[in-house]
Structure 1
């Protein structure tokens, strides 16, 4: 077909279809980057709106029209300009939605709306030992108070023995129409959140099992379910804390995660800087069920509580039964595939959001945890029931929760909750030297 005819046909396409057809070959890429086509799309989308009725002089009118001359620009100029402006417009809209913060969690109040407007989604990329990739789109999504749980499942997973790594990525459409659902066929930006090794899956932390699957936890926050009968993938569940989730899911690249900007410590010369004024919001949940949701204020530590590189924050005191709180319902981690459903007893997802004295998130995580029999013997006689514990640890600190089962009421009670914060993180955050 002659170039003139093809350009005429392409002029009827929108931006998404132009970018798609530009992937056919080199010739179509050049045709689909034509400035005459893209300057029309650009001027239609971003036409200047008059702010007053003053008529510009002829000289000013000519000066304004000069930049719009497509013949004076290199090939693809207006396409790049249109894409850049679309992306900047979307980022500005999302940034505005993320401004108001919840006083209890320190997280954006309108995070759900920001996720909808941006069209943000998540995929996992399974990579085998030969380098071949298997991309799985999102199956189920649950938005919790301070985290998001995404579950992927399908019937044709690649054999587990052939897999080497799993990439968790956020995907955002380059162009987003707020009146339409995001298309999976349009151009999308991929941002790597975390990469996991599947080669040593058997050496990961075993979380438990039921009659159909056994599950393993990979840090940070990934749960992998394997069929008992075939020892193959059943589902993959990711737990993502909402703190800076938009940035981590959209500002990285396909191979390099987004790196948080360095924190500038707020220098406070007052006594005990970095030791007091903490606030903790904690959630225990699974499959839309909430077992615990609470906020604990005015948490503090003393210099004498700093030991072995950690600062101790006592949230629930073992010896103060007025602070003990019950867990609602029977604790279990719910899972599902397109055929089966199940529940891993004594497991759940733990979300913790620790705010500093200015209300900013200091330490946040969302991860599966397992309730295991407690090995501690201290003061065990004062509780008339078996004791269990739940633990979590990363580079920022450790969390330890003690739970007792009350047979008479048929419920669990949290009798102790202690955080151990990395003193290195505390010093870096507050500019102190403990």
Structure 2
């Protein structure tokens, strides 16, 4: 008599015998409903081929079906759809699609109407004016009106003007929610000794015009951080109008009338800031700046803002000057470096020269002035429109810098272009 374990082994053996594979191997093994596994695999391939034959690509659909699908898209998606291929471009230009979008975007806000104004207007306009317009007409109308709406909204935001700088007060609010375009291009191969402005024990910093600060680690020469310094003047236009492929270009300048060309430049106003990390070392406004006719040095017109000889004009820098930087792991402060912002307004109050850029003090040597003694340093900035030269003296007793000279050099070519006359 077989034991319990023996009965289990016999049942297991019978099961294996029943499932014993025929000579054909796995492909010939009995399958469900009397079919072999090979037959089932063959049917699976036929089913897949039949499914592939029945599948229809979107591009092979009739135009009427595609137009029905496109009618459910919003304006941005419809514009993107028109970039797929030539056929989609022509279909996405359909006036019947865009008149509905146009009517929905610019319909009057009347919630007490019983009839849907968008449907009613779209239907009536479709019959009256869609057929006699060229393809894409209502798309162009929609884009033009949206651009006008955005410009009007930005103009309203930028209406308040700072009385000291003559620039819009709410530039940050206007730029923040908008899509940004390409403002400037930089070549990182220009990170050479001539563009290095300072460093500390961890890194070196380089300045690329206009206003880009690049930090490289000293040991590995790898990128540590990038800081962009953008002046508020026309920042909204540069940031929102244009794209990465087609940057915004400034409109052509219309020459201003020089009411007294024999006198030279007069009635100019300068606003200068020197700051870093939210700390302002200098914030000053200078009015009624002028220069006499013919006062030219090497192609530049010289405007003296702070005279070395006039002690009453000298100004102190508040706090210890240094450019603060921070990464995810390290932070530091590079001595004698800061950010300089310059806004020069002409006699009509219009921005004549504007920039924001990192600058660094350079030691000149001990001062030999009659009214003060100390180490003298200078700060220089140069671009295609002008130069700035600042001289400072370190007062050891009070441990602060004093600006003893501030001079602007404006290119004669810039002045001639501004006024349309030869200076």
Tell me the TM-score range normalised by the shorter chain: 0.7 to 0.9
Q: For 1:293 and 1:45, how far apart are their aligned partners in 2?
A: 46
Q: Does 1:426 align with 2:415?
A: yes
Residue of structure 1 in register with 2:280 after alignment: 290
Q: CA deviation at 1:292?
A: 1.0
Residue of structure 1 in register with 2:19 after alignment: none
Contact 1:94–1:114 (CA<8 Å) still a contact in 2? Answer: yes
Q: Does 1:267 align with 2:228?
A: no
Q: Does 1:317 align with 2:307?
A: yes
Q: Measured at CA, do residues 213 and 67 of structure 1 come closer, stay the same or move farther in structure 2, by a change above 3 Å?
A: farther
Q: Measured at CA, do residues 283 and 120 of structure 1 come closer, stay the same or move farther in structure 2, by a change above 3 Å?
A: farther
Q: For 2:67 and 2:422, how far apart are their aligned partners in 1?
A: 66
Q: For 2:187 and 2:406, how far apart are their aligned partners in 1?
A: 32
Higher RCO structure, 1 or 2 (CA under 8 Å, sep 6+): 1
Residue of structure 1 in register with 2:224 after alignment: 234
The 5 A counterparts of 1:316-335 are: 316-335=306-325
Contact 1:204–1:217 (CA<8 Å) still a contact in 2? Answer: no
Contact 1:391–1:398 (CA<8 Å) still a contact in 2? Answer: yes
Q: For 1:6 and 1:221, how far apart are their aligned partners in 2?
A: 49
Q: Measured at CA, do residues 44 and 412 of structure 1 come closer, stay the same or move farther in structure 2, by a change above 3 Å?
A: same
Residue of structure 2 in register with 1:14 after alignment: 74
Q: Measured at CA, do residues 217 and 38 of structure 1 come closer, stay the same or move farther in structure 2, by a change above 3 Å?
A: same
Q: More helix per residue: 1 or 2?
A: 2
Deviations 1:80-117 (A, max 9, x none): 33223212211222234334432311212332333246
Is the deviation greater in 240-249 or in 357-366? Answer: 240-249
Q: Measured at CA, do residues 64 and 326 of structure 1 come closer, stay the same or move farther in structure 2, by a change above 3 Å?
A: farther
Deviations 1:130-160 (A, max 9, x none): xxxxxxxxxxxxxxxxxxxxxxxxxxxxxxx
Q: Measured at CA, do residues 426 and 73 of structure 1 come closer, stay the same or move farther in structure 2, by a change above 3 Å?
A: closer
Q: CA deviation at 1:433?
A: 3.8
Find 1:195's aligned residue among 165, 185, 189: 185
Question: RMSD of aligned C-alpha atoms?
Answer: 3.1
Structure 1 length normalisation: TM-score? Answer: 0.72
Contact 2:268–2:290 (CA<8 Å) still a contact in 1? Answer: yes
Q: CA deviation at 1:402?
A: 0.9
Long gaps (5+) in structure 2? 1-55, 111-120
Is the deviation greater in 40-49 or in 389-398? Answer: 40-49
Deviations 1:30-86 (A, max 9, x none): 555544333222101112579xxxxxxxxxx99983676545555544333322321
Contact 2:276–2:322 (CA<8 Å) still a contact in 1? Answer: yes
Q: For 2:288 and 2:316, how far apart are their aligned partners in 1?
A: 21
Residue of structure 1 in register with 2:15 after alignment: none
Q: For 2:88 and 2:126, how far apart are their aligned partners in 1?
A: 28
Long gaps (5+) in structure 1? 51-60, 122-170, 172-191
Residue of structure 2 in register with 1:89 after alignment: 149
Q: Does 1:113 align with 2:113?
A: no
Q: Measured at CA, do residues 371 and 68 of structure 1 come closer, stay the same or move farther in structure 2, by a change above 3 Å?
A: farther
Q: Measured at CA, do residues 34 and 335 of structure 1 come closer, stay the same or move farther in structure 2, by a change above 3 Å?
A: farther
Residue of structure 2 in register with 1:394 after alignment: 383
Q: For 1:231 and 1:16, how far apart are their aligned partners in 2?
A: 43
Q: More strand per residue: 1 or 2?
A: 1
Q: For 2:261 and 2:249, how far apart are their aligned partners in 1?
A: 34
Q: For 1:77 and 1:38, how far apart are their aligned partners in 2?
A: 9
Residue of structure 1 in register with 2:199 after alignment: 209
Q: For 1:62 and 1:10, how far apart are their aligned partners in 2?
A: 16
Q: CA deviation at 1:206?
A: 0.7
Residue of structure 1 in register with 2:392 after alignment: 403
Q: For 2:122 and 2:412, how far apart are their aligned partners in 1?
A: 63
Q: CA deviation at 1:392?
A: 0.7
Contact 2:199–2:205 (CA<8 Å) still a contact in 1? Answer: yes
Q: For 1:244 and 1:288, how far apart are their aligned partners in 2?
A: 22
Q: For 2:138 and 2:122, how far apart are their aligned partners in 1?
A: 19
The 5 A counterparts of 1:99-138 are: 99-116=159-176, 119-121=178-180
Q: CA deviation at 1:308?
A: 2.5
Q: For 2:419 and 2:198, how far apart are their aligned partners in 1?
A: 39
Residue of structure 2 in register with 1:306 after alignment: 296
SS in structure 2 of the partner of residue 194 of structure 1: coil
Q: Does 1:221 align with 2:281?
A: no
Structure 2 length normalisation: TM-score? Answer: 0.73
Residue of structure 2 in register with 1:37 after alignment: 97
Q: Measured at CA, do residues 62 and 8 of structure 1 come closer, stay the same or move farther in structure 2, by a change above 3 Å?
A: closer
Contact 2:175–2:240 (CA<8 Å) still a contact in 1? Answer: no
Q: CA deviation at 1:369?
A: 0.5
The count of residues paired between Structure 1 and Structure 2 equals: 352
Q: For 1:95 and 1:301, how far apart are their aligned partners in 2?
A: 35
